[in-house]
């Protein structure tokens, strides 16, 4: 099948899921066309059946804002016509779903009826999409999608709650390819671990795009409480608007010597591989891909219980869940896991085992089934 995948090319979860999905589909023999304004960060190796098409909005002094959505629409029309795409799969509603709808209408005038599937990832619904300036377009384009998927039951409920959606919504959770994550650290990983924690300190980590919704200050407060009870190091990976504030907070608490802020890393798996515990105290999280990646690396997770996190992190088994902002409870749970090697190893094993539920081989066929269903029902209206 020839599949066009529209995505954000950044380190955000939706872009990562879309890229990994495309790569896995290509491995299975599909022809994949990634369409975005920049080369997807996770598209890191060449496969002959993967193409990348860059959307280049036209700069003109009259425009205060470049009409990206129109440039994307034209690109979708162009790629569909000239590459003979069978289906479009757009990740993140804004503005990808409405661009796909518009492209579909234009393509009909060329005698082409291409189905499109919209995957909602979370902030497109729970934060951005709810804005009155976007709401009518989001509702319309979700309802006009040939299929709609969301990454958790929680996001499905949120979508029906916030929008007048009449279309069916199918839940397909985020996934990981377990071979990309370390189960047993190699000598190189152990060397990195020793460099960060030379005295055998526990390593706690957090990986995100440093947005407010991640509540990284809670990560720091929880870590500060752990540090008061045992030697530990905190590795913060990622970058974004909160970074400066977090640097200041570490300085105020006097814990900078125990905190490594490593910025964006190409392979977050290398961070999980040297971690004992992962913290994700987000305000809201439709799924929490970072938590799943940690679990797949055998790292237990202390998270908030918001959104889809209870579907990913099993309380008392793969880690613990606490109410948003309850740093006391999070620290208490973290300390109980970290207290002894025996307890930590038990949770590490359980974390990995729980993550198998979300393995690529379980999830990929669910998308393929939808593609086959839509492509086989195409007729020109």
Nearest C-alpha neighbor of 323 from the set 234, 218, 224? 218
Structure tokens at 10: 């950044």
As a whole number of angstroms, the distance between CA 219 and CA 246 comes to 10
Q: How far is the CB of 360 from ligand GMT (least distance, A)?
A: 14
Rule CB under 6 A: say whether 286 interacts with ligand GMT: yes
Rule CB under 6 A: say whether 288 interacts with ligand GMT: yes
Q: How far is the CB of 149 from ligand GMT (least distance, A)?
A: 10
Nearer to ligand GMT, 16 or 77 (CB): 16
> Which residues lie closer than 8 Å to 165 by C-beta, 6 or more apart?
139, 142, 143, 148, 159
Nearest C-alpha neighbor of 287 from the set 127, 159, 173, 162? 173
- Beta strand 87-91 with 2-6: parallel, antiparallel or unpaired? parallel
> Which residues lie closer than 8 Å to 342 by C-beta, 6 or more apart?
none
Q: Are 201 and 231 in contact (CB under 8 A)?
A: yes
Rule CB under 6 A: say whether 17 interacts with ligand GMT: yes
Nearer to ligand GMT, 216 or 289 (CB): 289
Rule CB under 6 A: say whether 358 interacts with ligand GMT: no
Dihedral in degrees, nearest 10, Cα atoms 311, 178, 90, 80: -160
Nearer to ligand GMT, 226 or 287 (CB): 287
Structure tokens at 68: 């990206």
Nearer to ligand GMT, 86 or 311 (CB): 311
- Judged by CB under 6 A, which of 19, 73, 149, 174 binds ligand GMT? 174
Radius of gyration of the chain measured on its C-alpha atoms = 22
Nearest C-alpha neighbor of 223 from the set 237, 208, 236? 236
Rule CB under 6 A: say whether 289 interacts with ligand GMT: yes
Nearer to ligand GMT, 34 or 92 (CB): 92
Rule CB under 6 A: say whether 264 interacts with ligand GMT: no
Rule CB under 6 A: say whether 167 interacts with ligand GMT: no
Q: Are 176 and 292 in contact (CB under 8 A)?
A: yes
Nearer to ligand GMT, 73 or 286 (CB): 286
Rule CB under 6 A: say whether 238 interacts with ligand GMT: no
| Contacts to ligand GMT from residues 82-121, by CB under 6 A | 92, 121
- Judged by CB under 6 A, which of 12, 115, 298, 319 binds ligand GMT? 12
As a whole number of angstroms, the distance between CA 222 and CA 159 comes to 32
The contact mask relative to ligand GMT for 200-219 (x = CB under 6 A, - = no) is --------xx---x------
Q: How far is the CB of 10 from ligand GMT (least distance, A)?
A: 8
- Judged by CB under 6 A, which of 151, 169, 172, 246 binds ligand GMT? 151
Q: Which residues pair with 315 in a beta bridge?
A: 319
Rule CB under 6 A: say whether 304 interacts with ligand GMT: no
Between 289-296 and 341-355, two packed helices, what is the crossing angle to 10 degrees?
120
| Contacts to ligand GMT from residues 334-353, by CB under 6 A | none
Number of residues binding to ligand GMT, judged by CB under 6 A: 21
Nearest C-alpha neighbor of 43 from the set 292, 96, 51? 51
Where along the sequence are the contacts to ligand GMT (CB under 6 A)?
12-15, 17, 92, 121-123, 126, 151, 174, 208-209, 213, 284-289
């Amino acid at each position: 099948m020839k599949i066009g995948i529209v995505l954000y090319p950044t380190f955000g979860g939706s872009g990562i899921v879309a890229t990994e999905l495309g790569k896995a589909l290509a491995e299975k023999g599909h022809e994949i066309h990634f369409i975005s304004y920049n080369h997807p960060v996770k598209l890191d190796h060449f496969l002959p059946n993967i193409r990348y098409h860059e959307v280049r909005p036209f700069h003109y002094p009259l425009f205060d804002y470049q009409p990206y959505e129109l440039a994307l629409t034209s690109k979708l029309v162009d790629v569909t016509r000239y590459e003979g795409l069978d289906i479009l799969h757009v990740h993140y509603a804004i503005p990808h779903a409405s661009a796909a709808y518009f492209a579909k209408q234009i393509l009909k005038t060329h005698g082409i009826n291409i189905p499109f599937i919209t995957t909602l990832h979370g902030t497109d619904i729970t934060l951005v999409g709810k804005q009155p300036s976007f709401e009518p377009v989001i509702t319309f384009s979700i309802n006009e999608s040939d299929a709609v998927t969301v990454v958790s039951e929680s996001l499905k409920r949120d979508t029906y709650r916030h929008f007048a959606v009449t279309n069916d919504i199918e839940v397909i959770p985020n996934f990981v390819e377990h071979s990309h994550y370390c189960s047993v650290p190699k000598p190189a990983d152990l060397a990195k671990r020793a460099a960060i924690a030379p005295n055998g300190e526990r390593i706690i980590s957090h990986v995100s795009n440093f947005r407010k919704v991640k509540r990284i200050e809670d990560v720091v407060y929880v870590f500060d409480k752990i540090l008061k009870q045992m030697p530990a190091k905190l590795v913060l990976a990622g970058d974004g608007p909160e970074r400066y504030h977090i640097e200041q907070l570490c300085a105020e608490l006097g814990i900078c010597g125990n905190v490594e802020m490593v910025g964006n890393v190409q392979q977050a798996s290398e961070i999980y591989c040297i971690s004992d515990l992962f913290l994700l105290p987000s305000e809201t999280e439709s799924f929490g891909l970072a938590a799943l990646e940690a679990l797949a690396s055998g790292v237990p997770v202390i998270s908030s219980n918001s959104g889809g996190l209870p579907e990913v992190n099993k309380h008392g088994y793969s880690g613990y869940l606490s109410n948003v902002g309850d740093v006391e409870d999070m620290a208490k749970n973290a300390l109980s896991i970290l207290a002894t090697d025996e307890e930590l190893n038990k949770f590490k094993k359980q974390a990995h085992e729980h993550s198998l539920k979300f393995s690529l081989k379980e999830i990929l066929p669910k998308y393929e089934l939808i593609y086959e269903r839509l492509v086989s029902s195409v007729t020109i209206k």
